[in-house]
Amino acid sequence: MKQVLFLDSSLRIAGGQQIMLQLLSALKNRQLDVIAGIHSKSALVEALEEKGIPWIDTSIHSVSYNLNSGPRYYIGLLKGFFKLIKFLHFDNISMIYANTFITALLGVIAGRIRGIPVIFYDHDINSHRFFSKIVTRFCHHILAVSKAAAAKYSNKENKKLTIIYNGIDTAKFTPGKSKLGSQLFGKKPSLVVGYAGRISAIKGVNLIPALAKIVIEKVPAAKFWIVGDPFLKQDEGLLDLLETEMIQLGLKDHIVFSGFQKDIIDVIRGFDILIFPPKKDTFPTILLEAMAVEKPVVSTNWSGAEEIIQDGETGFLVPVGNSQAMAEKIINLLENEEIRHLMGQKARKYVINKFSMNQQIDNFLLIHNSISRPDFSKQSLAAEK
């Protein structure tokens, strides 16, 4: 059986990598022979081995993670590219999925050399200008995770684009009690407002101290639980700044920083509300996860969040950067237990109906099977001429 290769360049497991892991497991269960191409220092190594999914070391990593900088990084990419070319020559690969932009850029060139279709799985809201044109010109298809991710493509490029929303396993993401939450806040905890994700300015975490101050003045029993850590170089000092600002605002006893936590389901179960204040985000899976656990969510109204949340029904949307507006929605939910529970229940039903993992896999396989047809490559090449 020919294998399907999934390429990724991240050294950490963020939203896109979680989705790839989920997808690989589901495809394996549906008898598709999958293999991952990753950097040997990626956190994905352990996760893949736990799931029994084979992997190869491509030595390709994203520049954001900065193992090396400057010329050494690009020399490393070149070595990784030739390693990928060699692997494609000796192994029986029928198709390549690129989960990050750098793997898409290298993958489309390698795929063209070896005559293997390449599909770019686009999780990004940003365009990479000239290099994006290379990827879209030479890839066989683009899978965008949201309308927000697809918006950067031209009408011509849209002809080879399909939107497939991420899904989650709603049989795993269920309501329940949090072991870690009980340890941190007691068996009968205060009202917990939670954030889970990367500690980054682009994620809007710098807004949390100001909105926490407003909330706690109105609801003194409220606690803020911040889960995650910074893993980009430019965000390294942000966590210290957040802690310092919280102390200066007199909120030391109202906030807990617990760093990265592997068991995200247990974490979310410890929240009463999930907040998500990014400046922009393509398709924040954490919102789906919280909604599936019957937690009301309050998010900024940028991009992907608007495709997930039904404002006023399954959560609240507020303007980007508006701490006051977000704080008011949080206070409303904290002061109204019935509204919290009702909104959480509606949110779970909505995720089950629209964002289940099975729906994502079924939609993915429709595209995969159409591209796998023997006549597809000839049709694709003819269309490009």
User: Is-contact 205 195, C-beta < 8 A?
Assistant: yes
- Rounded-to-integer distance, Cα 356 and Cα 352, Å: 5
Task: Return mean pLDDT, the chain.
Answer: 90
Domain 179-354: CATH class, spelled out = alpha beta
Q: What is the mean pLDDT of residues 89-99?
A: 90
**Quick one: fold of 3-167+357-384?**
Rossmann fold (3.40.50)
Q: What is the pLDDT of residues 98-150, one digit of tens each?
A: 999 999 999 999 999 999 999 999 998 877 777 888 999 999 999 999 999 99
pLDDT of residue 98: 97
- Rounded-to-integer distance, Cα 47 and Cα 63, Å: 22
65, pLDDT greater than 60:
no
- Helices 208-218, 323-334: crossing angle, 10 deg rounding: 40
- For residue 322 the two structure tokens come to 């508006």
pLDDT of residue 377: 45
376, pLDDT greater than 80:
no
Whether the domain at 3-167+357-384 and the domain at 179-354 fall into the same CATH topology: yes
Q: Where are the domains of the chain?
A: 3-167+357-384, 179-354
Q: What is the mean pLDDT of residues 239-265?
A: 91
Give the percent of the chain with pLDDT over 90.
Answer: 71
pTM value?
Answer: 0.89
Burial class (CB within 10 angstroms; exposed 0-12, middle 13-18, buried 19+) of 104: buried
Q: What is the pLDDT of residues 220-232, one digit of tens each?
A: 999 999 999 887 7
Q: What is the pLDDT of residues 163-209, one digit of tens each?
A: 999 999 999 999 999 999 999 988 666 799 999 998 988 899 999 99
259, pLDDT greater than 80:
yes
**pLDDT interval class at 69 (50, 70, 90):** low
- Rounded-to-integer distance, Cα 239 and Cα 259, Å: 10
Q: Which residue has the higher pLDDT, 340 or 66?
A: 340
**pLDDT interval class at 385 (50, 70, 90):** very low
